[in-house]
Chain A
Amino acid sequence: MPSQLTVHNSQLETQDSQSQVPSSHPRGCWKTIGVWGNEEPRCHKLERVIHCRNCDVFTQTGRKLLERDLPEEYKNEWTKVMAAEKEENLLGAISMVIFRIEEEWLALRTQIFAEIIDPEKLRSHSLPHRSNPILIGITNVHGEIQLCVSLRELLGIETIADRKKEDRNGNKRMMVVNSEGGQWVFPVNEIYGIHRIHPSTFENVPVTVAKAQSTYTKGIFNWEGKHVAFLDDDLLLYSLIRNVQ
């Protein structure tokens, strides 16, 4: 009896190993019968795992990449990193998107952003009989019509004519922000990215800034030698609604 039992077990094992044929595939099964390939028949595991990245075979092959010898430079580099003080993130730091309109660097809370779109993919249509400089027009964001506004006009930022336009145009972006009433779209000249700034580093807005911009500015901080104005998004969105009505 015991010998029969062992035979039965080994049969089970062979069945098991047959079901894992893809793992021994020389090119990587995910590139042939998986989601990154189009060979027939499709991998039967896909029915269960949907995508290769959920599959053991793919995960285990990825892990095997770490079973390589340790390069000496890698070790030296990490020795330096681990010996240095860890950069602690200050509690209460605000995550914000830093962007540029003409010559002014501005920042808004990251939470209000819905997305950032390449202006090539987003055309705005002007509205007839509306001569409001703040309202640029309407634009199609994923099939929904949203208002496109000019923060430059609202904040009263002057256009700098002599700026080298050709090398800057590629950095232009459309920012989409969420508000209670829907989304707003506005063009900016450049986006730096997302940064965490602690409110304690904020400086007061200089009283000499007489423009409308100072009303919207919660604080000014120094970032890579530039002064960046952190804008009050509640006030900004509120006055946008008031201005386009």
Chain B
Amino acid sequence: MLILLFYIGNIMYTIKCEKVREIAPMVTLKEIPHTPDFFAGFFNYRGSIVPVIDLCQLVQGCPCRMRLSSRIILVDYIGKDSTSHILGLMAEGVTETIRKPEEAFVLPGIKSEQAPYLGGIVMEQKKMIQYIDLDLLPNCINFLNKD
């Protein structure tokens, strides 16, 4: 299984590539006032409006640094109305993908109340990389569930 590596601050995280639609470079986003800090703004993605989440802000509480390697990961998710939506995830150091077998994904049995989308671990050589569960992430972001 192909997984995408990226950084939030100095810590490496990963997501499974199967839900990833496209990796877009950093673009100018339409910021909306009175939204949570982790909501980076709206992205005009090929004519449709896509909300973008700043993963650095969401996980670590500091905004994503504007580097050439900072990119927007566009993923598909099924909303509460059972239709498919696109979500943008902004992260740093989005430069690499690796292949991992299904067995490499481990759930250590600890669930965080605040961030249930975090917790699964992928073993890469001697390092442990947390992966972000794309099935759980959109439901954790409250304002996405309005529709």
Contact = CB atoms under 8 A, between A and B. Distances in A.
Interface of A: 63, 65-70, 74-76, 78-79, 82-86
B87 to A, nearest CB: 15
Contacts of A84: 46-47
A83 B44 contact: yes
A167 B88 CA distance: 51
Contacts of B67: 66-70
Nearest to B28: A79
Interface in B75-105: 93, 95-96
Contacts of B95: 63, 66
A97 B24 CA distance: 31
Contacts of A83: 44-47
Interface of B: 24-28, 43-47, 66-70, 93, 95-96
A70 B66 contact: yes
A78 B24 CA distance: 9
A10 B67 CA distance: 34
A106 B109 CA distance: 66
Given A66-B69, A70-B70, A83-B45, 11 more contacts: A67-B68, A70-B67, A74-B25, A74-B68, A75-B27, A75-B28, A75-B66, A76-B28, A82-B24, A82-B44, A82-B45
Contacts of B93: 66-67
A88 to B, nearest CB: 11
B46 A82 contact: yes
Contacts of B44: 79, 82-83
Nearest to B66: A70
The 5 closest A-B pairs by CB, nearest first: A66-B69, A79-B27, A83-B44, A70-B66, A78-B25
28 contacts: A63-B95, A63-B96, A66-B95, A67-B69, A67-B93, A68-B67, A68-B68, A70-B26, A70-B66, A74-B26, A75-B26, A76-B28, A78-B24, A78-B25, A78-B27, A79-B28, A79-B44, A82-B24, A82-B27, A82-B43, A82-B44, A82-B45, A82-B46, A83-B46, A83-B47, A84-B46, A85-B46, A85-B47
A69 B66 contact: yes
Contacts of B25: 74-75, 78, 82
A78 B26 contact: yes
Given A79-B44, A85-B46, A70 B24 contact: no
A60 to B, nearest CB: 10
A85 B46 CA distance: 5
A68 to B, nearest CB: 5
A196 to B, nearest CB: 21
Contacts of B46: 82-86
A74 B24 CA distance: 12
A110 B68 CA distance: 36
Contacts of B69: 63, 66-67
User: Of residues B45, B69, B93, B96, which shows the largest number of chain A Cβ atoms within 10 Å of its Cβ?
Assistant: B69
Contacts of B27: 75, 78-79, 82
Contacts of B66: 69-70, 75
